[in-house]
Every structure is written in C-alpha cells, then in structure tokens.
Chains A and B, each alone.
Chain A
Amino acid sequence: MAGETRFRPHDVMRMVQRDQRARLLADDSIWLCLTCETCTARCPNGLDPARVVDALRELSMTEAPGRIPKAIAAFHRSFLEEVKRTGRMGEFGLVLRYKLRTGQFMKDVGAVPSMVRRGKLKPLAPSIKGVKGVRRIFEKCAEARRANGQEEVRP
C-alpha cells in the first residue's frame, strides 16, 4: 500500500523521532497501512514500524478522529460491533452494518446471488454461549482506555 500513501514507513519513523505528531495525524497514510509487516520484518535497525503505526492509529482516534478515512472507520466499527454483539464476525452482519454506515447500499449487490449459490452467504449468526465473556473484554478495555484519557473504541 506504500504506493498509495504520502508517508512511507521510513517517513513515519522519522516524523515520530522529530515529534511531528500533528503532521502525521493530519494525513491518512497511517490508516492505509495494511499491516503486511514487511517494514518490520526488514527494518535494518530492528525497529517495529507496524506496531508504531498501530499506536499512531490509537492516538489518531483520540486526537484526530475526523481524519480517519470514512470507509475504513466504518469498516472497523462495523466489524467490532458485530463481534461485540455475537462473539464472532458474521459476514452478513458486518456487511449490513457497513452499508448502513456508508450508504453504499448497491456495492457488491450483484454478487449476492452467486454468493448464495456457492453457500457463502449465511444469515445473521446467533451469539456464542460465552458472548458475555467477549463483552466483558470490550468493557474492560474501554475502562482501561478511559483511565488513560483515550477515546474509547465505540463499536
């Protein structure tokens, strides 16, 4: 994805060293990283840029939430919401939530019949038995974020 970003991993690392936080968080480069881990695997200085990008994304959620690309934010929220509801990621529920958030109702609709024919589309999934344990994890992590003065992840 580096080809589609303004700041590449080495730029990000240098900007972090120079404390150019505002400039980094004002750009969507960190949200376009797919965590392919290539930079981390190959860093000649043994650094871990992929983890740094994850940390920057967490900062960005508190400090520059408006800068997160809308489709990507909608995907993450829809994904975590579905996991919190059922304990698992039901693809149908994820896509439905994503469409409601983005208004992209027609996206991939043409593929629905072929998905059904292949047995790949399942209706809304029931919750797992231990869904309360999964919700507990979400709640405890939200508490920890509030204690740190961070915006909580609100699925």
Chain B
Amino acid sequence: MKIGYYPGCSLHGTARELDESLRAVSAALGVHLQEVEDWSCCGATSGHATDHLLSVALAARNLALAEAQGMDQVLAPCAACFSRLASARHEARNDAEIREKLPELLGLPFTNTVAVRNLVDLLRGLAPEIKAKATKPLQGMKVACYYGCLLVRPPEVADFDDPEQPTSMEEVVKAAGGTPVTWNHRMDCCGGAFSLSRTGSVIRLGRAILDDARTAGADAIAVACPMCHSNLDFRQSAMALRGEAPMPIFFLTELVGLALGLEPKALGIRRHFVSAAPLLERQCAAGKGVS
C-alpha cells in the first residue's frame, strides 16, 4: 500500500518519535509512505484563530502539492494537521467562493481530489496485519486510549468513527495485544496550543486526564497527536514535583511497533520525558512468565 505522507512541523521537532515510530511500523507492515515534497505548515491554531481564509489556504497548499505529485490520499499523523487539512478539503468542497479563490491564492492548480487520513484510521485498517505480525504482543498492558478533540470532531470534517463513542484506537490496541480500559476523559481537551501561553490551564486539563486514567487502572495512555503527547508527557514534570505518580504516554505507533517486535530505540521511546522503561521491564518479565 502506498500513501502520501504529510509529517507536519512537530514531527521534525518535539514529536520526532512519532515520525520515527510511524516510519518503522509502516515499513514492517508494508506501507510505503511517500512524503509530500516541499510541504509547509498547515496553519494550525494560530491560522484559524486569526484569519479564516489564511487557515484554509495554508492547509490547501499542501493538498495542491500532493495533487500535483500524483497522490490520491495523504496521511497526516498529527491530529491538528489532520483537522486543518480535512477542514480545507471540506471548505473547498462546500464553499464555492473559497474554492474559486484558492488557485489564485496559492499560485497553484487545485481541484481538491486528495483525501486526508489520520493515523488511527490508517492503523485500524491494518489491525488484522498487526495482529498477525505481533511477535511481542503487549501482554494485556492496560491502555487508556486518548482521542482528544480533533480526530473525531467536528464530525463533518473528521468524517471518522463515532464522534461520541469511538472505538478505533481500542481496536488497534487490542490487535497489538493490549487491554483497553474504560474511562471518561478520552475525548476531553489536553490544552492544545496553550502549552506556552497558558501553561497553568494545560496542567489543570492534563491532570484531570491523567487522574482519570489512573483511576481506571491504566498502565499507560496512548495518543495520536504531538500536542496531546507534549501536554501529557512533558508537562507531567510539573505534576511529578507534587508527588503524582508517573504515567507513560505512548504514541499509538510506538505500541504497535513494540508488538511487532521492533526495538524501543528504533521507535524513539527513549525520547519521552516520563520514562517507559519500568513499565516495559514489567512487560518483559510478564512475557517470560507466560512463555
């Protein structure tokens, strides 16, 4: 299978383990990622919070490039990039005025033919292969699947899973041999783009999510968004100071990679702020006990 790949800016910086683990898992599952050449920022929060037209055009530039490079679908592993690209596609489809303006704004032809897919969507489609190739299944690791906001909302844009009771992340975790826990905060916001400008809000929102996952008995939280990861992982250092127990935060690709028998180092897991090592050692010991 071949799919266009739009990494997005975070995957070249603080979320490089998402890029590393996605590439490793794709190779193991026979998915060929073709990177959109010369991609640019999707505009993210700052685009849509200040200028609607700018937010659509910045995202659409990447869809126009993908189109020119012969792609019919593009994977955006960051949930925020996914939402911006999918919004641009949605706007161009439903708003004739914007649709007509776009080629002139971009200086590129744009016919809106490229479908936008998120990471969970891709992995759910590969669940049977993941299960078949899982040489080191997760030994029932209790995983709280965290969707956050933009993978499923707004439903018309995301056009993915049930917007209130999604199940696809849980399906992927099960295929990898993990046990999804039932919990309440899986669709709540992590604080998104406020990491710098309202850090206190991010810690408050993050703490509620982490507390709920702990109450549900989770060993770890799975995410599919660089901002969710940073807000729950990096910002946990502020909570650790108050004696709150550490909770490892994995990208969904990392959990799948572990199940496929890939080395934690190749998946970038050592880059986390909250170390996953104690949990992985327990897993390893449990694995030996079973066999």
Q: A75-B197, A137-B57 are in contact. Are A58 and B52 (CB under 8 A)?
A: yes
Cα A98 to Cα B195 in complex, Å, equals 12
For B29, list chain A residues within 8 Å (CB): none
A61 contacts chain B at the CB level, 8 A cutoff: yes
Main secondary structure of the interface of B (DSSP, over half): helix
Q: Nearest Cβ distance between residue B11 and chain A, in whole angstroms?
A: 11
Q: A1-B201, A89-B9, A98-B196 are in contact. Are A36 and B273 (CB under 8 A)?
A: no
From A72, which residue of chain B is reached at the shortest CB distance? B197
- B45-64: CB near A (< 8 Å → 1, else 0) gives 11111111110011001000
For A144, list chain B residues within 8 Å (CB): 53
Tell me if B273 and A153 are in contact (CB < 8 A).
Answer: no
Tell me if B46 and A91 are in contact (CB < 8 A).
Answer: no
Tell me if A50 and B201 are in contact (CB < 8 A).
Answer: no
Tell me if A141 and B46 are in contact (CB < 8 A).
Answer: no
Cα A141 to Cα B187 in complex, Å, equals 33
B281 contacts chain A at the CB level, 8 A cutoff: no
From A144, which residue of chain B is reached at the shortest CB distance? B53
Tell me if A35 and B49 are in contact (CB < 8 A).
Answer: yes
For B272, list chain A residues within 8 Å (CB): 118
For B273, list chain A residues within 8 Å (CB): 114, 118
Tell me if A37 and B46 are in contact (CB < 8 A).
Answer: no
A129 contacts chain B at the CB level, 8 A cutoff: yes
Kindly identify which residue among A87, A111, A129 contacts B41, using a CB–CB cutoff of 8 Å.
A87
A128 contacts chain B at the CB level, 8 A cutoff: yes
Cα A137 to Cα B51 in complex, Å, equals 12
Tell me if A36 and B57 are in contact (CB < 8 A).
Answer: no
Q: A1-B189, A75-B197 are in contact. Are A90 and B52 (CB under 8 A)?
A: no
In the complex, the number of residue pairs spanning A and B with C-beta atoms less than 8 Å apart equals 161
Tell me if A88 and B50 are in contact (CB < 8 A).
Answer: no
- Which residues of chain B (98-125) have a CB below 8 Å from chain A? 104-108
Q: A34-B191, A37-B150, A80-B47 are in contact. Are A141 and B54 (CB under 8 A)?
A: yes
- Which residues of chain A (5-45) have a CB below 8 Å from chain B? 31-32, 34-38, 40-41
Kindly identify which residue among A40, A79, A120 contacts B271, using a CB–CB cutoff of 8 Å.
A120
Tell me if A140 and B57 are in contact (CB < 8 A).
Answer: yes
Tell me if B41 and A89 are in contact (CB < 8 A).
Answer: yes
Kindly identify which residue among B50, B105, B194 contacts A58, using a CB–CB cutoff of 8 Å.
B50
Q: Nearest Cβ distance between residue A9 and chain B, in whole angstroms?
A: 13
From A125, which residue of chain B is reached at the shortest CB distance? B12
Tell me if B105 and A141 are in contact (CB < 8 A).
Answer: yes
Chain B residues packing against A (C-beta within 8 Å):
9-10, 12-14, 16, 38-41, 43-54, 57-58, 61, 65, 104-108, 149-150, 152-155, 163-164, 187-189, 191-194, 196-199, 201, 205, 234, 237, 270-273
Nearest 4 CB-CB pairings of A with B:
A37-B153, A79-B46, A36-B189, A71-B197
